[in-house]
Amino acid sequence: QTVVTQEPSFSVSPGGTVTLTCGLSSGSVSTSYYPSWYQQTPGHAPRTLIYNTNIRSSGVPDRFSGSILGNKAALTITGAQAEDECDYHCVLYMGSGIHWVFGGGTKLTVL
Amino acid sequence: QVQLQESGPGLVKPSETLSLTCTVSGYSISSAYYWGWIRQPPGKGLEWVGSIYRGGSTYSNPSLKSRVTISLDTSKDQFSLKLTSVTAADTAVYYCARPRVGHWFDPWGQGTLVTVSS
């Protein structure tokens, strides 16, 4: 069974930089998995931040960036703001069969 | 601007069938390559439920086995989800979304909570 891993929680100071990761229980994440990232505030639908590894969705501030770091996909927030405190989800495209697998999400605290 | 809106019963009894509809506005449903459903149990992460392709082919999460049926109604710009033999584990917020070329989801509907309880 394919499991996508994310840190359950992370903390960053206002103005600081944080990198959240998205990995595989077995194997490495590459651009071939088309990693995408979503931001979700309580009671709201997810909002697209990054797709195709590193392309920012329309209207997303440039303090959000995506990449592959080592064997994982990564979302980096540079200059974190209080409004960035929420949940972040990644999803990997697995191709035929399973299609998409989401990670468990990371709860980011800004304090 | 493309908008998606889920609708359906908020309460379903165990062993019965969950039925939801997603209405698409601002876009012809037949113009997109595929459409999808994603769910989120309370306090948990997101889970891909299934997708339907323009030609009518459907794919669902293997964890849901054969309980999922997804269909298109191009005359109404709607697509639907049926999940049979539900249990409390199927309690979740269900989102409809458009998978994009490049395998990401946008836009999303606002989501609808479905509770499975007697």
Cβ distance of B105 and A38 shorter than 8 Å: yes
pLDDT of residue A97: 66
Contact between residue A75 and residue A66 where contact means Cβ atoms under 8 Å apart? yes
Nearest to A67 by CA among A7, A20, A4: A20
pLDDT at B78 over 90: yes
Cβ distance of A99 and B108 shorter than 8 Å: no
At CA A90, angle to CA B41 and CA B28, rounded to 5? 80
Give the one of A34, A38, A45 whose C-beta lies nearest to B102's C-beta. A34
Going by C-beta distance under 8 Å and a sequence separation of 6 or more, which residues neighbour residue A84?
Answer: A12, A77, A108, A110
Give the one of B38, B45, B99 whose C-beta lies nearest to A103's C-beta. B45
Tens-digit pLDDT profile for residues B22-32: 999 998 888 88
Mean model confidence pLDDT for chain A = 96
pLDDT band at A92 (very low <50, low <70, confident <90, very high): very high
Distance in angstroms (rounded) separating the CA atoms of residues A34 and B68: 25
Distance in angstroms (rounded) separating the CA atoms of residues A64 and B89: 34
Going by C-beta distance under 8 Å and a sequence separation of 6 or more, which residues neighbour residue A77?
Answer: A12, A17, A18, A19, A20, A63, A64, A84, A108
Strands B11-12 and B112-116: parallel
Average pLDDT estimate for B5-11 = 97
Distance in angstroms (rounded) separating the CA atoms of residues A69 and A82: 25
Mean model confidence pLDDT for chain B = 94
pLDDT of residue B82: 98
pLDDT of residue B33: 80
Residue A68 CB burial class (10 angstroms; 0-12, 13-18, ≥19):
middle
pLDDT of residue B32: 81
pLDDT at A96 over 80: no
pLDDT of residue B80: 97
Contact between residue A22 and residue A5 where contact means Cβ atoms under 8 Å apart? yes
pLDDT at B9 over 90: yes
Contact between residue B2 and residue B27 where contact means Cβ atoms under 8 Å apart? yes
Distance in angstroms (rounded) separating the CA atoms of residues A14 and B97: 32
Quick check: B58 contacting A, CB < 8 Å? no
Distance in angstroms (rounded) separating the CA atoms of residues B118 and B116: 7
pLDDT at B81 over 70: yes
Tens-digit pLDDT profile for residues A41-83: 999 999 999 999 999 999 999 999 999 999 999 999 999 999 9
Quick check: B47 contacting A, CB < 8 Å? yes
pLDDT > 90 fraction of chain A, expressed in percent and rounded: 94
Residues from chain B contacting residue A36 (CB–CB below 8 Å): 103-105
Q: In B1-118, where do the E strands start and end?
A: 3-7, 11-12, 18-25, 34-40, 47-53, 58-60, 68-73, 78-83, 92-100, 104-108, 112-116
